[in-house]
Amino acid sequence: MSYFIVFAGKGGTGKSTLAAFTVKYLSERKLGPVLVVDADPNYCLPELLGVEIKETVASVRDNALKEKPEGMSLDEWLEIQINRVVEEAEGFDLIVMGRPEGSGCYCAVNNVLKRILQEIAEHYRYIVVDNEAGMEHISRGILNKVDLLFIVSTFTKTGIQAALRINELIKELNINPEKKLLIINMAFREFEDSEEEELLKHFDSIYYVFFDKDFLKLSEKGRNVFSLPKGEAIWVNFKWILEETVEQKI
């Protein structure tokens, strides 16, 4: 059965970088097959993973009815097109959802996409999903399973508020992850005991990924996560968190 590792958080919290680190971890441990789903409209996982994408699920969706050949069902046509946009890389496959739908009715297309994506996911041991704060693809049921949820924030008030809102949204969508973790990224300190105790009313655990100025310099140069030095502080820090949270599933 596939195990879904989902990242969510306010833009700018670094959730995509942590999702990319998770792919690096699973790939280097040879724990595949791994499917990576970039479900953030402002997708950046391809660059972080060093993969060039040509098309997204959104482009397939938008052109589905216009380009479908006569005599072929919508199911058959979309299945061919979706498999075509799955990019194969060393240790993982990547699919990018792309921007939200525009005007018009996509109900029929979305229902078929939902089924096809769920069928594709069944062929992978791990699914790593980089979601947006609004959890659009989960709320629409296109991605309807979460086992391990990382809600990523920084120490900013707006970041914490966004994390709490995402937590409430998860409840409203009736999604019950096995684990729901708060990650404080780019941290300079840990919470005071009273602050942490209050937040632990909403999350199973809180982890800290500490600020790494050397990684920031590498990030500014557009380096992908597979090119990082082995001892890079932020990678060592988050790798330990993954060992604590994902290791038991291996």
- More confident of the two residues 196 and 214: 196
250/248 Cα distance (integer angstroms): 6
- DSSP string for residues in 144-171: ---SEEEEEE-SSHHHHHHHHHHHHHHH
At 127 the pLDDT is 93
For 215, left (φ over 0), alpha (ψ -120 to 50), or beta?
A: alpha
Between the CA of residue 114 and those of 39, 57, 85, 138, 216, what are the distances in Å? 13, 11, 15, 10, 37
Predicted TM-score (pTM) above 0.85? yes
pLDDT at 141 (0 to 100): 61
- Sign of the CA dihedral 201, 205, 211, 216? negative
- Average of per-residue pLDDT across 72-79: 85
Q: What's the CA gap between 218 and 228, in Å, rounded?
A: 8
- Would you tell me how many other CB atoms lie within 10 Å of the CB of residue 124? 19
Mean pLDDT of the chain: 85
**pLDDT tens-digit profile of 150-193?**
999 999 888 899 899 988 888 888 888 999 999 999 999 999 89
Task: Count Cα atoms within 13 angstroms, Cβ side, for 79.
Answer: 10
Of 16, 55, 54, the C-alpha closest to 36 is 16
Q: What is the pLDDT of residue 98?
A: 81
What domains are there in the chain, each with its CATH number?
A: 3-51+87-99+123-249 (3.40.50.300)
Q: Is 232 exposed, middle or buried (0-12, 13-18, 19+ CB in 10 A)?
A: middle
Instruction: Give Cβ neighbours of residue 28 (< 8 Å, ≥ 6 apart).
Output: 91
Residues of the chain above pLDDT 70, percent: 87
The whole-angstrom separation of Cα 78 and Cα 106 is 13
- Structure confidence by residue, pLDDT tens digits, 76-131: 888 888 888 899 999 999 999 887 665 555 566 677 777 888 888 889 999 999 98
Mean pLDDT of 15-31: 94
